[in-house]
């Protein structure tokens, strides 16, 4: 098994142990939880719009090291905001998924979660 695949398995295992009943999490779930982590607070429930915003925060945070987004500010409710620095190139779905997996692995390593 190559290193990236092993690292992705570690990320999936982390979520399976902490957040699911052994089920493999979907990408949206992983992004949502990274967004909550970046927001820095948990609520009993988030609205649908808040959930979408949390996934957006995660995507921006994950793609920031690649030069696609840059942190801008926290708003009056302490939600982080990012500015797009450059557009993502056109990619096929599998290429997008691979980029996000790579970014998530980097995030988990940087935060010493795997």
Give CA separation, 104 vs 43, 75, 77, 89, in Å.
23, 25, 26, 19
Give CA separation, 50 vs 56, 70, 82, in Å.
10, 20, 16
Domain count, the chain: 1
For 66, which DSSP code? G
SS3 108: helix
pLDDT at 1: 65
Range of the domain at 9: 3-17+24-110
Q: Which residues, 6 or more positions from 45, have their beta carbon under 8 angstroms from its beta carbon?
A: none
The continuous run of DSSP H or E covering 83 comes out as: strand 80-84
The continuous run of DSSP H or E covering 3 comes out as: helix 3-18
Q: pLDDT tens digits, residue range 69-103?
A: 999 999 999 999 999 999 999 999 999 999 999 99
pLDDT at 4: 86
**CA torsion 2→8→12→13, rounded to 10°?**
50
Q: Is the pTM of this model over 0.85?
A: yes
Q: pLDDT tens digits, residue range 7-63?
A: 999 999 998 888 878 888 999 999 999 999 999 988 889 999 999 999 999 999 999
């Amino acid at each position: 098994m190559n290193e990236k695949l092993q690292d992705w398995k570690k990320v999936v295992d982390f979520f399976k142990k902490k957040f699911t009943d052994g089920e493999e999490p979907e990408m949206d779930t992983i992004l949502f939880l990274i967004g909550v982590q970046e927001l820095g607070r948990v609520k009993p429930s988030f609205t649908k719009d808040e959930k979408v915003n949390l996934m957006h925060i995660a995507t921006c945070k994950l793609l920031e090291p690649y030069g696609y987004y840059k942190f801008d500010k926290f708003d009056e409710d302490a939600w982080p905001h990012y500015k797009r620095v450059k557009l993502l190139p056109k990619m096929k779905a599998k290429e997008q998924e691979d980029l996000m997996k790579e970014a998530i692995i980097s995030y988990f390593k940087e935060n010493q979660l795997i």
